[in-house]
Amino acid sequence: MDILEKLKTMIRYYEEVISLPHRREIAAELRDEDDLFLLLLYSEMVGIPNPAYYYTLELYPYMLEKFHDWHLRMGMEKSPLAGFRCC
């Protein structure tokens, strides 16, 4: 590896070090936005009436994995949907 490559590696490492906490912060903010979005889609499950529920439920198969993480984060150990296989 020549000196230029080494220098680039060092800069990359340095950048990774200083951006580590920020990466977490942005990921957390984005996750919060996602959670809000999921709440808008599936608010019926937590007792908030949602007229679009019938349609939003169609998205469920595409979001299965995310949905699992979401209901865990929302404090529901098991999926609140009886008819769908989640966990």
Partner 1 sequence: MNAILVAVIGMVVFALGYRYYSKFVAERIFRLDPNYVTPSHKYKDGVDFVPTNKFVLWGHHFTSVAGAAPILGPAIAVYWGWLPAFLWVILGTVFAAGVHDFGTLALSVRNKGQSVGTIADRLIGQRAKILFLFIILILVLMVNAVFAWVISNLFIKYPASVLPIFIQIPLAVWIGYAVYKRQKKMLVPSLIALAVMYGAAILASQFSWLQVDLVGMMGGEEGAGLFGLGSVSTAFLIWIVVLMVYVYIASTLPVWKLLQPRDFINSHQLVVGLGILYLGLIFTNPTITAPATNATTDVSWFPLLFITVACGAISGFHGLVSSGTSAKQLDKETDARFVGYLGAVGEGVLALISILAVVTLFPSAAAFKTAYSSFGAANAGGLGNFVEGASLLAGGIGLPAGIATTIVSIIIISFAATTLDSSVRLMRYIIAELGMEYKMPVLAKAHVATSVAVLSSAALVLIPKGPNGFGSGGYLLWPLFGTANQLLAGISLMLIAVWLKRLGRNYMVAIVPMIFLLFMTLIAMFQQVFFQWSWWGTESNMLLFVFGAIIFVFAVWIILTAFSVLTKGIQPKLPVKD
Query: Which residues contact partner 1 by CB under 8 A?
Result: 11, 13-29, 31, 69
**Smallest distance, partner 1 to C-beta of residue 80, A:** 20
Sign of dihedral through CA atoms 3, 4, 9, 12?
positive
**Smallest distance, partner 1 to C-beta of residue 81, A:** 22
SS3 4: helix
Q: Which is nearer to partner 1, 19 or 40 (CB)?
A: 19
Q: Which is nearer to partner 1, 23 or 78 (CB)?
A: 23
SS3 21: helix
**Smallest distance, partner 1 to C-beta of residue 11, A:** 7
Rounded Cα–Cα distance for residues 32 and 8 (Å) = 34
